[in-house]
Amino acid sequence: MALQPDGPVELGTGVLNNEHNDMGSDLKVPTMAEMFAAGQRPEVLFWVGCAGSFDDRAKKITKAFVKILNKAKVSFAVLGTEESCTGDPAKRAGNEFLFQMQAVTNIEVMNAYEIKKVVTACPHCFNTIKNEYPGLGGQYEVVHHTQFLKQLLDEGKISMEGGKFKGKRITYHDPCYLGRANQVYEAPRELIQKLDAELIEMRDCRKRGLCCGAGGAQMFKEPEKGDKDVNVERTEQALETKPEIIAAGCPFCNTMMTDGVKNKERETSVAVMDIAELIAGAEDL
């Protein structure tokens, strides 16, 4: 399941009809270096992550999230070229040494910028920075983008009217490193419900959510011999709910579920979308 540099083919479902608006240059994405040089401190660092920076599908999620941040006038910045892999896949593969090298380097950069709060759209980055960086000298308040969006909504900084997703059948796939690993189950679900969409749960959800198959560095290797691939098993569970959209909150889950939907030849009727894309879509951003 190794991801090629050109990334997975994008879905053409027309559910998220904002491609016409997808002008990268519209995005306001300040870097920490720029802000620091101007004597400014953003409220929050947006940790983009490797997938969000390089994977073609995940970049759309990144942009959707930035559009919302821009719309809500959130004071944020990214590290840009100063960001590096958190070390999560190295650690789960057993390379603690490489993990800690990455962690210590990233922590030095973040501490130099006096970062207090971090938001990220990747549950793996979220988990690693939140749980494994403090022991190495990196203490930050870390939130997943679904938690952050929920807060923006609660504070009235974004609204989700327009009813583009009204009545749509959406099933939500719990990313392991967001759900079981960190007990974040409700924020993404509350956001889906705010879209006036019909949230349908899969057979295995929340605490018993079935993995997409990408975690533990599986994303970067071929699976071991078995009867089927984990992402196909999970996609079958998702398709049982007869969804129009499979929502995810993780770029890796997104890739795995997208591949699963293609494997089942359902890509014309079922879209795999990130929560941020749903909200950006509802707002017509």
**Rounded distance between C-alpha atoms, residue 186 and residue 49, angstroms:** 23
**What are the start-end ranges of the E strands in the chain?**
44-47, 76-77, 117-120, 141-144, 169-172, 198-200, 245-248, 271-274
* Binding residue for other proteins, selected from 57, 63, 144, 145, defined by CB under 8 A: 63
| Backbone phi and psi for residue 217, each to the nearest 5 degrees, phi listed first | 70, 10
In the complex with other proteins, the residue whose CB is nearer, 98 or 198, is: 98
Nearest-angstrom CA–CA distance, 72 and 66: 10
Which residue in the set 42, 213, 249, 251 belongs to the binding site for other proteins (CB under 8 A)? 213
Binding mask 82-101 for other proteins (x = CB under 8 A): -xxx-x-xxxxxxxxxx-xx
- 3-class SS of residue 55: coil
Identity of the residue, 84 or 198, whose beta carbon is nearer to other proteins in the bound complex: 84
**Residue among 276, 237, 279 nearest 256 (CA):** 237
* Residues touching other proteins, count (CB under 8 A): 77
- Tell me which residue of 66, 186, 48 sits closest to 126, measured CA to CA: 48
Task: Return the residues of window 153-182 that contact other proteins according to CB under 8 A.
Answer: 176-177, 180-182
Q: Which is nearer to other proteins, 25 or 155 (CB)?
A: 25
Element (H, E) at 59: helix 56-71
Contacts (CB under 8 A) with other proteins, residues 96-125: 96-98, 100-102, 104
Ramachandran region, residue 140 (left: φ > 0; alpha: ψ -120 to 50; beta: rest): beta
37 touching other proteins, by CB under 8 A = no
Site pattern 216..255 for other proteins (x: CB under 8 A): xxxxxxxxxxxxxxx-xxx---------------------
Nearest distance, CB of residue 57 and other proteins, angstroms: 12
**Residue 258 has which token pair?**
């997208």
Residue 203 in contact with other proteins, rule: CB under 8 A = no
- Residue 33 touching other proteins (CB under 8 A): no
Q: Which is nearer to other proteins, 26 or 43 (CB)?
A: 26
Say whether residue 146 binds other proteins (CB under 8 A): no
Considering only 14, 25, 38, 39, the residue that binds other proteins (CB under 8 A) is 25
Q: Rounded distance, CA 239 to CA 261, Å?
A: 8
